[in-house]
Homo-oligomer: A and B are copies of this chain.
């Protein structure tokens, strides 16, 4: 009998939460993004909720405009290692860039985390989005490479990393004290990779890990991104505005798998949502609205400015009547702009009111509501194959995660959509993914070392 399909859940962990003003919330610890105990506690809570994955994103540059939670953050390898030390079952996935790393180092670090965690590591492969080009300037380069160049390098990078992970066959280390045989030379393999971007000899200086290989995670949705995912990814994070688009993406990506001799079960698509749980729908909406009100007015005005002719609002005191602002003539969404001007006049808004009035209203999306409403919507996306599960990007942490684990998870469990407890001990166990074969064994490669 085929096993019933179960939802997969990942928790996106970032200091006080995804919301730009989350650090200002009365309950927030504003230095949470560099407090190791905060991350360890979050991972423990996600583990209490039987989540598959505790996830750490990354970025490699900051400037004055950056989201506060990324100005001051941990290196992902360091923080997932610290989270591993504080948990026992949950998978721990860190983001690392193929554009700004060396594959030998990255392969070692993730293999090491996989060993240290008892087989719970995953690598979220990114090529780094860097619209401003700041990242390149931190890494000794003049410019951030173009998209296709980055993806071509990423293809090779993953091949090298996975090849290095197979350097030692599973039984390569003999530890035979009596005969003095530490390893079996027949079970060690040099990679000798030579590509357009990389030339890497190997072997890696660490044994194959308990998962065989850490799990490969991706989020790219461009054409090269989907191709890379179809060939190599085991988890894909996706963001689509509505269920129809999500279903279409789901079908498209899953249909590509057969090209690479893979089945639908080999790749899980997790849809990104930002749930806010309330006792009533109104309470949940209010929570979101309360957060929006905490947005620093000038930060909020940067958004408004983009819609109103790039006005430099910093010239105006916040209590200046907005009718006194010299708005330029706006090309583009003129009707929307005119409507804004009418409201400004009618409601006698000040500059300080603009963000909250026009952009701060609670965004009532499908995952802001009561536990049952959220569970219903998740079930719908899951059953209609818009997603195999969800990446939960809580606007406010830790309370958003606490609420979800305490109130939504039990409903999903009761409905048989989500596990009651972990059945295995590795991330691959949770995700029902096979331990990959060793490429050198599969290909019958003669050991060289």
Contacts and interface: CB of A to CB of B under 8 A. Distances in A.
Contacts of A24: 177, 180
Nearest to A294: B180
Contacts of A62: 203, 205
A202 interface: yes
> For the side of the interface on A, what is the size category?
35 or more
A104 interface: yes
B173 A82 contact: no
Given A63-B449, A182-B71, A198 B78 contact: no
A105 interface: yes
A323 to B, nearest CB: 25
B36 A202 contact: no
B81 A173 contact: no
B104 A138 contact: yes
Contacts of A63: 449
A52 to B, nearest CB: 22
Given A198-B140, A449-B63, A177 B30 contact: yes
Count copies of this chain in the complex.
2
Contacts of A100: 102, 105
The residue in A23, A104, A168, A449 that gathers the most chain B C-beta atoms within 10 A of its C-beta is: A104
Contact of A206 (B21, B73, B101, B109): B73
Contacts of A420: none
A139 interface: yes
Interface of A: 21, 23-24, 26, 28, 30-31, 34, 36, 59-64, 68, 70-75, 77-79, 81-82, 84-86, 100-102, 104-105, 108-109, 111-113, 115-116, 134, 137-140, 168, 173, 175, 177, 180-183, 185, 188, 198-203, 205-207, 294-297, 299, 449
